[in-house]
Amino acid sequence: MEAYSKIKLRYSIANLLLKAYFFVWIRIKHFFVSANSVVTSKIKNMKQFTISVLVFIACFTTYGQVKVNPNGKYFNYNGTKIYYEETGDGEPLLLLHNFFNTADCWKPHVKVYSKQFRTLAVDMMGHGRSDIYKKEDTIFSHEDYAKIILALLDSLKLYNVNAIGASSGGTTLHFLNAMQPDRFKAVITVGGHIYYSKQAREWITRTGLEQFKEGAKHHGPEKQEYLARVFWESRKLYGEASFTPDILNTIKAEWLVVLGDNDFVIPVQLGMEMYQNIPNSRLWIVPNGGHFPHLDADIQPEFLRVSLEFLNGKWEKND
């Protein structure tokens, strides 16, 4: 029976990889058919898109179906169940994943961070093992998600919180620090944004609703439709998020802005805006890094080293 289960698992993995191959091949084929100008620039963007797709696939293939892990718990927020995992002891370290992902993608990081920190990895609302919040909404509210996280931190009586957030997780950290600037100690955002750039809107439009449905399939039919729909709608969303310099200037935490110089969603200029307007901030532009440099196998060891240095206060500015 055990041998059969292993064969079945391997078959499922092979099937998923085959689907990934055809998915990427179709995108590349579509790209070369439609590209008539600025070829070099578009090849670069397509390369980063493909790499990011494969990062997603690798993560989901490794961890398989989304299941409740032994250290997994649920927090009830007004009838909505939010899944999170606690590991280790020490200062709290909040980990917020990107859209379409789950807390499972922090596993390599948790192995390292939990030796020093009490890590708290959360499934974003509507993702993985967490319930959808406000199913009737046509947009995904990072502000609502931030309120849920604050309620979770309250329930656990956690203060002086360190945090790392990727993409949408990073945007959520901007909301959290604007709401309660005294609660956070050190924050790292990876590919986070303070507003939807033209580059991001164009990428969402170019990718298309059906591709986002494919990317959300592992969350189950209901969440697949919900996540793809609200993410697709974000291409024409204004005001969520929208962090002006005066709001960013209220942030009190030590802050590290991490951005790949090959990020096809977030332009480097947006990272500069964060760095210039968040008072205690540092900026790390990752050479040849995409939208998720912390998930890139080649960059991840360096990310772990740098992030630990920063969280341990070795990057603090001296007046």
Confidence at residue 212, expressed as pLDDT on a 0 to 100 scale? 92
Dist CA 306 CA 130 (whole Å) = 30
Pairing mode of beta strands 80-87, 161-166: unpaired
pLDDT for the residue numbered 316:
77
Provide the token pair at 16. Answer: 């998923």
**What region, left, alpha or beta, does residue 69 occupy, with left being phi > 0 and alpha being psi -120 to 50 degrees?**
beta
So what's the pLDDT on residue 319?
A: 52
Give residue 57's pLDDT: 43
Q: How many alpha carbons lie under 13 Å from residue 20 in its C-beta half-sphere?
A: 21
Structure tokens that stand for 53 in this block: 């797709």
Predicted local confidence at residue 32, as pLDDT? 40
Q: So what's the pLDDT on residue 241?
A: 78
Residues forming a β-bridge with 285: 259
Beta bridge partners of residue 118, listed in sequence order: 92
Over residues 22-35, the pLDDT tens digits come to 444 444 444 443 44
* pLDDT on residue 65: 56
Flag residues of the chain having pLDDT under 70.
1-65, 239, 317-319
Residue 18 confidence (pLDDT): 38
The sheet with strand 281-286 has its strands ordered as 72-77, 80-87, 117-122, 91-96, 161-166, 184-190, 254-260, 281-286
3-state SS of 116-183?
Answer: CEEEEEECCCCCCCCCCCCCCCCCCCHHHHHHHHHHHHHHHCCCCEEEEEECHHHHHHHHHHHHCCCC
